[in-house]
Amino acid sequence: MSRVAAAIEAAHAAGRGAFVGYLPIGYPDLQTSIDAAVALAEAGADILELGPPYSDPVMDGVVIQEATHAALEAGFRLADTFTAVRAIAARTDVPILVMTYWNPVLQYGVDRYADDLLAAGGAGLITPDITPEAAAEWISASERTGLDRVFLAAPTSTDERLAMIAEASTGFVYTVSTMGITGERAELDAAARTLVGRLRGHGVAHACVGIGISTPAQIAGVVEYADGAIVGTALVRALRDGGVAGLTAEARALASGTPR
């Protein structure tokens, strides 16, 4: 079993859904982003999702866009991804997934990226803008290295596409709660529940729901039917407004919504 799947199963064994927490690497600076990720793990996150800043973050909402822009302005470089993962992995056993747009991986070299991520202690990639049929090189590299590959499924995905995503994904399937960009929403779309059910029909063992989740109550609602909940914007805002201490408090509050 993959490290990510094992973390989800461990949460289930403890009577909880998994809490997947997202933070950008390099925000507000590299060392603080490392400390923040470790604090997030210590505050209850079962899986860390770390995002290298990208110049055209088409899936991200305003809070995350502003944070990644600040990280780029501060001098973030792609190699800092592996520096951060290595430093975080040395301080926590919580598995680390890198959420990355595909172009930086392609420019770096798919096999080189996989090898460097594995060497740093990373667990795999979440790839929001590449589909399984276009990811043969990454699938091959991940099979060679044992890294997890998390693809996204959307409410608009056809059954044919869901079957392809189910077959290609390891760790979990990132289940998009609603169409649009990341951020916070007062209500999560009922489409997420339907989508998780459709994925189950295609044999998906682990489906975690993301986009728009920002409160313990929303997490509690999600883990009634899904394996875990993914939170990003609320954590980034807490780090922005309250530093690592503020992030820790927010993460603890969010984790209180995971018991089933």
Return the active site residues.
Answer: 49, 60
DSSP annotation of 16 reads B
- Half-sphere CA count of 65, side-chain side, radius 13 A: 11
Which neighbouring-strand residues pair with 124?
Answer: 97, 148
Q: State whether residue 57 is helix, strand or coil.
A: coil
Please say whether the beta carbons of 34 and 26 come within 8 A.
no
Joined together, the tokens standing for residue 211 give 């986009």
Query: Residue 198 to residues 88, 163, 193: CA-CA distances in angstroms?
Result: 35, 10, 9
Burial of 14 (0-12, 13-18, 19+ CB in 10 A): exposed
Please say whether the beta carbons of 258 and 219 come within 8 A.
yes
Please say whether the beta carbons of 246 and 2 come within 8 A.
no
Question: How far is it, in rounded angstroms, from Cα 79 to Cα 161?
Answer: 33
